[in-house]
């Protein structure tokens, strides 16, 4: 069968168009592998390593097998069908692999588009924060060493009355421990650091790190700065907001509020949103209570104890003289209530008496009632409660319950 060598040469060379030749001798109708001779460029793609046969290789082997089968002993039908099934399976697998590859590419492109879209939205949203008052978490403070410099540090205590603040150097060594106590109505404490260690020795200029003991277990314990955002800078890691001479990540923002037209800060809402609050019960803070003497009247006093179990009140006349003291014990919900006779203790005639909370900076007087209207004078939205105009910044609780006042 002299044509076998030529056919093999054509099979090996023509599909690839490689410049080489292959030949072998045939003895008694059988190829002699020891006589195989290959000439030409053996660095061509025919000789490059492959992970396995492809579907085209399999098809060529099948057709070659059919072409050179013995007519007197043709291929068994069962074996032929099995090979056709293998070829069909190979074709299906190849198509699935290609489809998965296309799906992976499409999915990655979709993710890139979504990521770009999300980044664009984040950048656009960051612009709207300019002019807003925000609270941003802070974990470090810079000390320049300038004489008289005392960096301000604000600590949020949450439900805790006090906590230790550690100031550490870059190596993690604690150089100063300060006690944060006496929180305000926002559960925060303002501290100043004089740039000295626990031995009252000046430290060198640099960046120092802040850690509130317990913040790893209680997320309400943290250090922060609060100011108006002056601008935004875009970076490869996302937008940075400019605040208090610093540039901090957008993700560090803990709280956002409006800056009102009169310069004071506090939450603000539109008139449409304020209308929704009509009929709701709100609790609001009162700076102090006062009354004019009238023996036939009583003054209702409501106090939030700020986590304490009791509170002491002082009644002072117009000169600031304490004319009466009383102690209120905690009732349900951490509050205390009482009625005070509006008596004249010092013959002050029509001059008012004032009631003050003593020794508890977290406690405060509050009023409670149903919102029966809104007021938008001077462009500021206020709620009308119990005949009083209440600023949104004074509200500490909103509910739909019915309240008896």
Residue 98 lies in a domain: no
- Return averaged pLDDT per consecutive 10 residues of the chain, 405 residues in all: 46 49 64 64 53 63 70 64 65 72 65 51 64 83 86 89 93 93 86 92 93 90 86 75 80 68 52 78 86 89 89 89 91 88 80 88 89 80 86 80 49
Q: Which of 208, 231, 259 is the last residue of a domain?
A: 259
Q: Same structural domain for residues 288 and 324?
A: yes
Q: Which of 236, 259, 282 is the last residue of a domain?
A: 259
Q: Same structural domain for residues 395 and 271?
A: yes
Q: Same structural domain for residues 390 and 285?
A: yes
Q: CA of 199: how far to CAs of 173, 180, 248, 357, in Å?
A: 14, 19, 32, 37
Domain that holds residue 303: 267-399
Q: Same structural domain for residues 193 and 286?
A: no
Q: Same structural domain for residues 255 and 271?
A: no
Please report the pLDDT score of residue 268 as a whole number. Answer: 56
Predicted model pTM = 0.39
Per-residue pLDDT tens digits for 168-211: 999 999 999 999 998 887 888 999 999 999 999 999 999 999 99
Phi, psi of 29 (to 5 degrees): 80, 10
Residue 58 lies in a domain: no
Nearest to 31 by CA among 83, 68, 56, 73: 68
For residue 136, what are the contacts with CB-CB under 8 A and spacing of at least 6? 224, 225, 226, 241, 243, 248, 252, 253, 254
Q: Same structural domain for residues 280 and 305?
A: yes
Please report the pLDDT score of residue 405 as a whole number. Answer: 40
Q: Same structural domain for residues 319 and 273?
A: yes
For residue 139, what are the contacts with CB-CB under 8 A and spacing of at least 6? 209, 210, 211, 223
What CATH number corresponds to the domain at position 278? Answer: 2.60.40.4070
Q: Which of 259, 279, 298 is the last residue of a domain?
A: 259
Q: Same structural domain for residues 354 and 379?
A: yes
Is 38 strand, coil or helix? Answer: strand
Residue 151 lies in a domain: yes
Is 108 strand, coil or helix? Answer: helix
Q: How far is CA 100 from the centre of its chain?
A: 34
């Amino acid at each position: 069968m002299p044509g076998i060598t030529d056919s093999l040469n054509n099979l090996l060379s023509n599909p690839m168009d490689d410049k080489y030749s292959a030949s072998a001798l045939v003895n008694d109708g059988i190829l002699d592998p020891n006589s195989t001779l290959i000439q030409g460029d053996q660095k061509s793609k025919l000789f490059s390593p492959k992970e396995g046969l492809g579907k085209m290789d399999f098809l060529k082997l099948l057709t070659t097998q059919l072409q050179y089968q013995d007519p007197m002993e043709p291929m068994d039908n069962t074996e032929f069908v099995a090979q056709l099934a293998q070829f069909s399976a190979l074709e299906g697998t190849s198509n699935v692999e290609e489809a998965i590859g296309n799906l992976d590419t499409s999915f990655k492109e979709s993710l890139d588009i979504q990521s770009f879209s999300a980044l664009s939205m984040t950048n656009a949203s960051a612009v709207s924060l300019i002019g807003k008052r925000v609270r941003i978490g802070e974990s470090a403070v810079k000390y320049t060493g300038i004489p008289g410099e005392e960096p301000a540090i604000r600590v949020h205590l949450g439900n805790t009355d006090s906590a230790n603040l550690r100031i550490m150097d870059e190596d993690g060594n604690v150089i100063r421990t300060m006690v944060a106590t006496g929180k305000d109505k926002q559960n925060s404490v303002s501290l100043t650091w004089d740039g000295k260690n626990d031995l009252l020795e000046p430290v060198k200029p640099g960046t120092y790190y802040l850690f509130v003991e317990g913040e790893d277990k209680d997320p309400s314990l943290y250090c922060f700065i609060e100011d108006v955002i002056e601008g935004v800078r875009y970076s490869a890691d996302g937008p940075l907001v400019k605040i208090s001479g610093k540039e901090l990540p957008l993700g560090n923002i803990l709280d956002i509020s409006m800056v009102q037209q009169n310069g004071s800060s506090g939450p603000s809402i539109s008139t449409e949103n304020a209308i929704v609050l009509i009929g709701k019960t709100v609790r609001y803070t009162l700076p102090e209570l006062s009354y004019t003497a009238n023996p036939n009247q009583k003054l209702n006093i409501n106090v939030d104890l700020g986590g304490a179990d009791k509170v002491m009140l002082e009644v002072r006349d117009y000169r600031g003289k304490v004319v009466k003291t009383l102690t209120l014990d905690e009732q349900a919900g951490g509050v205390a209530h009482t009625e005070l006779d509006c008596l004249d203790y010092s013959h002050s005639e029509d001059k008012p008496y004032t009631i003050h909370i003593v020794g508890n900076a977290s406690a405060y007087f509050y009023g409670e009632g149903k919102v029966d209207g809104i007021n938008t004078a001077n462009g500021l939205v206020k709620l009308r409660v119990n005949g009083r105009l209440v600023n949104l910044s004074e509200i500490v609780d909103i509910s739909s319950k019915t309240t008896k006042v």
